Structure 1
């Protein structure tokens, strides 16, 4: 048994020494760093900010990285714009793509979502004791510009109702 353990240690050390050998004259190659960005980085930059709900951000990212050329209906010669609908359980994004995959228009509409903390603070500032009954989020993007970003919130306090509209247009 003592010899077996000694042989096992010897072969383990020999394996480590052999693993440290030169790579048979193969020189490592250093590659230049590249930056890959989605085609629709302008869309993401315009619609996504600190006032964008998390569920919306996830769908916006999918829309920005979507490859319209992967669809069977896609024909580069025949199409001026191509509409694609991205759905979530509580809303959707309808995005219009050009033949090269750029988003030229997008309409986002969601209902009863978890509002970002900054928006919640705006809603409940001065509305202590009120509860949010429902909310709607809408965003319109057109030709590289955010044209509308809005929350509509309904608050209740017993039998009283209060409606608020928060605009985040640029």
Structure 2
């Protein structure tokens, strides 16, 4: 029994040593793995860094990421005309981004409108503290981005209580504007 256990341990250690060796492929040894070439486009990282924050709802993140990843140089009309900017509209139900790209494919401005989004918890909590007993009737999230300028992000909210309505313009942290 003792010889069996020692024999199995020896085989296990030997197996690990073999797993560490170089591979022999097509008549030569390969010392590592080779990956296919990958191109990373970071021209719109400035856009993403400015429009996203920790409280951005998933629906908004997804459409903004789609706009940032979009390669405008692949658009059929991109090379047909000489232009300073190129506008592309991204739409989903209750969401729309109008993004303007320069001739290098970088987003230079965008206007974004999202209706009936899931509001960040901190925003809901802040509003409920300031307006106890009121209910949310509608919400719209707006983003205005211009390259090199501060991004403007705010919610337009409508609250109701009994027969009364209140319209609020609130930044993502809950401050009433």
TM-score bracket for this pair, using the shorter chain length: 0.7 to 0.9
Q: Is the 8 A contact 1:43 1:144 kept in 2?
A: no
Aligned to 2:135: 131
- After TM superposition, the score normalised by the length of structure 2 is 0.74
For residue 115 of structure 1, the aligned residue among 109, 113, 119 is 119
Which deviations, in whole Å up to 9, do the C-alpha atoms of 1:77-132 show, x marking residues without a partner? 71211000000100200000011110000100112211122222222223232210
Does the alignment pair 1:95 with 2:99? yes
Query: Is residue 79 from structure 1 mapped to residue 91 from structure 2 by the alignment?
Result: no
Find 1:165's aligned residue among 164, 169, 172. Answer: 169
- Partners of 1:166 and 1:30 in 2: CA distance: 52
Larger relative contact order (Cα-Cα within 8 Å, sequence gap ≥ 6): 1
SS at match of 1:44: helix
What corresponds to 1:26 in structure 2? 29
Gaps of 5+ in 1: 1-15
User: Matches of 1:53 and 1:125 in 2, distance apart?
Assistant: 21
* Structure 2 alignment gaps of length 5 or more: 1-14
After superposition, the Cα gap between the structure-2 partners of 1:71 and 1:40, relative to the gap in structure 1 and judged at 3 Å, is: same
